[in-house]
A and B are shown apart, each in its own frame.
Chain A
């Protein structure tokens, strides 16, 4: 066995380049796997712990105003475990040294004791007790560098109030802290605060009443009857409909993130380990083919099948282990980075990256499985080999002239090109898999580039074509239309457009969806509705216009009639015809002509907010004046929001792109380098012969390079096709409530996909040609 062991290390050393290339591919797969699994594990543990520790509710209801004495009755509902009522209200905030308007959501804390549900985790300070004390969330505190003891100003119901920060906290309801109608967290411009119940209730005329209810369910209780009962009992109090965690904003974002991670945890690693299995098959297969005589001799000397099988299996295992170590190291490093990124978006009291033994085992096991799959065939060949084969001379490899060759080989092609084509056709399986491997990496490049361009297009559509205002004003309550004239009269306002916004639950057959119904002008100018060709459409006098995603979700098309539960005022259920569908990449809304919506709500021409086009030179002054108006609850600058989105993309996607690029490079390089090295090793005699016959170096080099180049050229169009497929599935997978990627493929993406593999090809070819230059003609010819 000693001698065999020595042979193992010699073989490994002789193939170190190829081994490292394969190990890199395994490493890439293991890295993504490890990255995704550990991050997933980290987030899930943090989420579970936080939810449990803080008693996060299972069911939630927003309503207009319900009396506290209703609670004992609700507590008796079958399935209900705990109830926690609260008062919540939008406020406006001012922080010294920050000029932009800040929107806030103020929540009540019980006067005595801890809330039964959705408890806060106290990080610094003490929970508010005095009427002027507030607790604020950690990200908001960090954004404004607020400490317990600092002061902020809140505009509550039009009254300016000085508040003292008493506590920095985290809440299970705001792990993902997103402002209303925002796409991304903005800790500077949106904050969540808690103050003692009595003071808040008093300011909003909610004494002895509540406008939010959280409910926890008994273990194993069916939630649906609870939802129905709550809806029935709370409907008279302006309930907007009870909903489960799945519809709770923070929980929903977290869940979507976890789902994306688990897609990543499986798809990419399988791809990479598949390629690694193929490469191992080719490498060890070639080794065994070259060593058949040796193997037969060893068998003749009395080495057993098993010891020989073990020998070649060990070879594969060494490669796997190198790859796994490499991958886990990289994965750990990347996971630390990803954890930091997550910490900026998801706020848990403690989020700890832990290396679990089972994850290490999983990575190793999957990689070993790939290796075994890869070398299975080869090992069978070793097992079946008879010792007598050692005595027989090697036969030249067999070539035939098949149909493919008749189609491909033209007389003008010349003998050297003929050699290239025949060698590719000689091992069609291997050539095909090589093409597939290269095509896969080309496809990965295409997907990465697609994602990038698609997001840019999405932002362009949203911010250049749909949202044409530069400022959005949310009013503190539904107001009469005349406010519009007042705002328009402000200096610096160039154009105004009002909108009405109502929470609604749409039903069609058995499907329903909670969203908002927006009432717009018939021909909205500042917030346009676009069809597929991006041309603005007009709102019909009656009837509903739906975002395509919503229409598809409900399964309706123009002409169908949907049920709309208007969750404001008297909670009316009305039937509305779907008039048209619009293609919007962001958000999930329904639209109506504003006055038609007013009529449905049985109100006069009321509005919820105003969009503005303003003079950039006067914008700051205007904003300051508008902030003084008590009727205005929030002011958002579109440019800020767009900038945040672009930053988010730069943070998350560019890193992802870099990883994809690296991985695609590693696959291409490994496949091509292995192919080239094998071609060089198996055919050095043939190449030397060509040199002897008087062919120039470059001509003989071409026989090697041409084969590899041809594989790459064949792979590029296939890579494009696969890439289009991947991009499409990615687009489908990323079709979410938050946003939908438009399916646009730029020529630049195709170019990148081709260029990437061509560069990797050139690189591996240059390495291989260097070796070819060192080829010793005479010794290559000498031996049999």
Chain B
């Protein structure tokens, strides 16, 4: 646990979150009662086998999905009871997302993809600034089809952080990248966590990345089975992939 654990430092607190899907006659239990607290500025890695419920948890935290039962608080707000409008506002103002397949808008240039977000945020950084943070200033006028996978993912990160979100949620951000590019992307995420103090949650299959985290949470069959504190997180360059 970080040195300070005062209540105003709590970003999320989840209590007995469940999520199930009805698929015909079958009930799929994706989450079976998750209790979790995330603190300001933390860099947390979420590990677990495929199908263990990682994405489901991240989507609920990000306001893309709502829990079937249980309570999720974000600061003072109760997200588990928010309606679509409130969740949309929450995503727009508080959360940055990074996905495995980048999800850039193909018809917009790198700069425009970032501007897409800064146009609707209350106090964003400039799109150029965001691209500079991921070291892509000179590529700002390229379309996604003209960028490599790693570059596209860095644009996606720039787009996610440009609004200066309080939370950055990344679902297998390196999943589609080779290890060298992947480590560069992780370095960028880590650096942003340090510079901006953004609470960052990263889903990965890669155990090595866990060494960067303040905390490592393991999921299995929709439940948290282990939370591990890491007093001396390593930097991305120190990792061996």
Contact = CB atoms under 8 A, between A and B. Distances in A.
Interface string A422-435: 11001000000000
B65 interface: yes
Interface string A376-403: 0000000000000000000111111000
B105 interface: yes
Contact of B64 (A395, A399, A686, A777): A777
Interface in B115-130: 115-117, 119-121
B75 interface: no
A399 B89 CA distance: 30
A693 B143 contact: no
Interface centre among A395, A415, A690 (most CB of B within 10 A): A415
Contact of A422 (B107, B117, B119): B107
Contacts, number: 82
A398 B107 CA distance: 8
A396 B145 contact: yes
B50 interface: no
Interface in A677-713: 685-686, 688-697
B119 A415 contact: yes
B103 interface: yes
Nearest to B87: A694
A695 B120 contact: yes
A426 B143 CA distance: 13
Interface string B67-89: 00000000000000000110011
A232 interface: no
Interface centre among A398, A414, A694, A695 (most CB of B within 10 A): A694
Given A395-B145, A415-B116, A694-B93, A778 B59 contact: yes
Main secondary structure of the interface of A (DSSP, over half): helix
Contacts of A691: 88
A396 B121 CA distance: 27
Interface in A761-784: 777-778, 781-782, 784
B64 A415 contact: no
B171 to A, nearest CB: 9
Contacts of A398: 143, 145
Chain B contact-residue range equals 20 to 34
A419 interface: yes
Contacts of B107: 397, 399, 418-419, 422-423, 426
B108 interface: yes
Contacts of A688: 103
Nearest to A694: B92
B46 to A, nearest CB: 17
B28 to A, nearest CB: 14
Chain A contact-residue range equals 20 to 34
Contacts of B95: 694
B88 A696 contact: yes
Contacts of A782: 55
Contacts of B119: 414-415
B48 to A, nearest CB: 17
B103 A397 contact: no
Contact of A693 (B84, B85, B89, B116): B116
Contacts of A692: 62, 64, 91, 97, 103
Interface centre among A397, A398, A426, A781 (most CB of B within 10 A): A781
Interface in B200-240: none
A782 B55 CA distance: 10
A338 B159 CA distance: 64
Contacts of B121: 694
B17 to A, nearest CB: 16
Given A694-B88, A778-B64, A778-B65, A396 B59 contact: no
Given A422-B107, A426-B107, A694 B120 contact: yes
A691 B92 CA distance: 9
Interface in B41-63: 55, 59, 62
B144 interface: yes
B145 A415 contact: no
Contacts of A696: 85, 88
Interface of B: 55, 59, 62, 64-65, 84-85, 88-89, 91-93, 95, 97, 99, 101, 103-108, 112, 115-117, 119-121, 143-145, 159
27 contacts: A396-B106, A396-B144, A396-B145, A397-B145, A398-B143, A398-B145, A399-B106, A399-B107, A414-B119, A415-B116, A418-B107, A422-B108, A685-B103, A686-B105, A689-B104, A691-B88, A693-B91, A693-B97, A693-B117, A694-B92, A696-B85, A697-B84, A778-B59, A778-B64, A781-B99, A781-B101, A782-B55
Given A415-B116, A693-B117, 5 more contacts: A415-B115, A686-B106, A693-B120, A778-B55, A778-B65
6 closest Cβ pairs, A-B complex:
A694-B92, A422-B107, A694-B91, A415-B116, A689-B103, A396-B106
